[in-house]
Structure 1
Amino acid sequence: MSNVLLNIPVDIIQNSTFIENYQQLNAAPDLSLSFLEKVWASYYLYINNDIFATGLLFFSLHEFMYFGRSLPWYIIDCIPYFRKYKIQASKIPSNKEQWECLKSVLISHFLVEAFPIWFFHPIANVIGISYQAPFPSWQKIFFHISVFFVLEDLWHYAFHRGLHYGVFYKYIHKQHHRYAAPFGLAAEYAHPLEVMLLGLGTVGIPIAWVYFARDLHLFTICVWITLRLFQAVDAHSGYEFPWSLHHFLPFWAGADHHDLHHHYFVGNYASSFRWWDFVLDSEAGPDAKLEREERMRIKNEKKKI
């Protein structure tokens, strides 16, 4: 991290508190860093152990964003006014179900996800993920995250659909389908093997990207994880609002798309977008079934001609 400090004595800053680090960075005349970049640099200098700093950052970010985004949905589930927006209005998760799900998710976070999170920094160093300030431009961050969303969606579709076959569903994916009407906390309620397999798409795709492109920043991964968690929790919320994102971006999946998957147990396998289910004819629900039957009818009539 020393190249971010320029003319500031590194040994002085690394022995300072977080606030003192920030103040010295803020007072440095030769540094042109944003507020967020100064906070980032001050944090790494204060911790003074890059492996621990990245592990703590990623784990804290994951817990804060996952449960922070799940909490509003829990509150909404408790307010009768919002029932009119509930996709499966008769299936409101009980406090007991929420509590059982919470315990399972916490166990998964600490016993399954924590290990790879805490050892991510050494991998980042080996493959060339930068973690020094300044950050990339917002245009580059947007481009990288857009690529990750598209590639992760393909990964998720392929492996999620695979998990619905035979023994894979019976012994692995069935746990996630315990709730036919999903709710926010249930986004990561899954068998450990499923957590690792589908989670590999979230973490492995940035690793593969930087391996070939040699251009990625750790801050970009933090933004990516934040947005991916928002997407996953919201997709399991069970609510459809007039302002839901898919009304403005028709190719976005959203809760209405994934709720049908839980309700019918098949179809709608993608995570973020609708195009793979459309192209590969795996859309779920009665409307999609009628459309398939109509296409089959027309096809059969053409054969008779």
Structure 2
Amino acid sequence: MALPLGMDNYFNNATYNSIADVMLPHTTNSYWYEFDEISKYNVHLNYLERMWAAWYAYIGNDVLATGIMSFLMHEIVYFGRSLPWIIIDRIPYFNKYKIQDQKVPTAREQWECAKLVLISHFTVELPQIWGFHPMAQYCGLTTSVPFPSIWTMAYQIAIFFVLEDAWHYWTHRAMHWGPLYKNIHKIHHQYSAPFGLAAEYASPIEVMILGLGTVGTPILWCAITKDLHILTMYVWIVLRVFQAIDSHSGYEFPWSLHHFLPVWAGAHHHDVHHEKFIGNYSSSFVWWDWLLDTESGPEAAKRRRERRALKAKKAA
């Protein structure tokens, strides 16, 4: 499908929210034909932007184009990021970095976990992904090119990390309340020593509740500011999925991020949560657990004893 003549300035027109807004009716042309046609009339776009525009032009339906891309992206990122941890679990050398070194997941455990995760992806997440585009575009999200600047994407993603972390802390902490734990969250705690694939091993209700923080945070931002590109949201989700999988990896390395960024939670923080079944409710950062004294583990217990001793000394 060729881009209509005279539309070479379209992509700089902020009044359009989607590429398909001005595309001609879809034909049977190939993706690369669309890419070549868009490249002819939009030489100011970089290669990735032309590939992006060609995808929406080739599919000819924004909802379908976004749905396919979103679902494939999630599956490739989730299982692609989990694969290195599966391989590491099979290499004895890395056992010295395993936080609970006596609890290496078996191949059967990995497979059983993968099956439940796949079922959840197709029955819970796929319908939500399919309805994402209409809802997001209604709130003002754009799919057009050119892409936003790196700076714009960086500060928006930083805000999403902070807001989502607050949502995760309070909902996660609530799910450790008796009835909610028994009926919803207990499934996720089947593995007291987590591993990468188990990041989304959870009940459908939990997947929806926690997923609301990941998807709802940028949608809320978009509804308020009317300034969000779907590429920014994709990068945010990729980073959030990476964070979730890495925090469940069960490995603590000398180069782990929390050694350089003390407020970052990391694998050790979340591994203790799975081992002790209480405390360390945050996802990305540790400040909510610090502030509300819900840290778990021997180091946190030692700090509490020291604070009590100091308080008693002052009162004497």
Q: TM-score range by the shorter chain?
A: over 0.9
Question: Which residue pairs with 1:302 in the alignment?
Answer: 314
Summarize the alignment of residues 1-305 of structure 1 with structure 2, pairs less than 5 Å apart.
5-6=7-8, 10-11=23-24, 15-28=28-41, 30-304=42-316
> 8 Å contact 2:39–2:50 — kept in the other structure?
yes
Q: Distance in 2 between matches of 1:71 and 1:114?
A: 22
Q: Distance in 1 between matches of 2:35 and 2:70?
A: 21
Q: Which amino acid aligns with 1:45?
A: A
Over the matched positions of the two proteins, sequence identity in percent amounts to: 56
Q: Distance in 1 between matches of 2:72 and 2:280?
A: 31
Q: Which amino acid aligns with 1:6?
A: D
Residues 84-131 of structure 1, C-alpha deviations (whole Å, 9 max, x = no match)? 111111100011111110111011000111111011111122111011
Residues 152-191 of structure 1, C-alpha deviations (whole Å, 9 max, x = no match)? 0000001101111110111111110110000000000001
Q: Under a length normalisation based on structure 2, what TM-score does the superposition of the two structures give?
A: 0.92
Question: Which residue pairs with 2:15 in the alignment?
Answer: none
Q: Which amino acid aligns with 1:280?
A: L
Further displaced range: 18-27 or 194-203: 18-27
> 8 Å contact 2:280–2:295 — kept in the other structure?
yes
Q: Distance in 2 between matches of 1:5 and 1:31?
A: 12
Cα displacement (A) at 1:22: 1.4
> 8 Å contact 2:23–2:60 — kept in the other structure?
no
Question: Which residue pairs with 2:17 in the alignment?
Answer: none
Q: Which amino acid aligns with 1:182?
A: P
Q: Distance in 1 between matches of 2:27 and 2:85?
A: 41
After superposition, the Cα gap between the structure-2 partners of 1:280 and 1:130, relative to the gap in structure 1 and judged at 3 Å, is same
Cα displacement (A) at 1:25: 2.2
Structure 1 spans left out of the alignment, 5+ residues: none
Question: Which residue pairs with 2:19 in the alignment?
Answer: none
How many residues align structurally? 302
Three-state SS of the structure 2 residue aligned to 1:131 is: coil
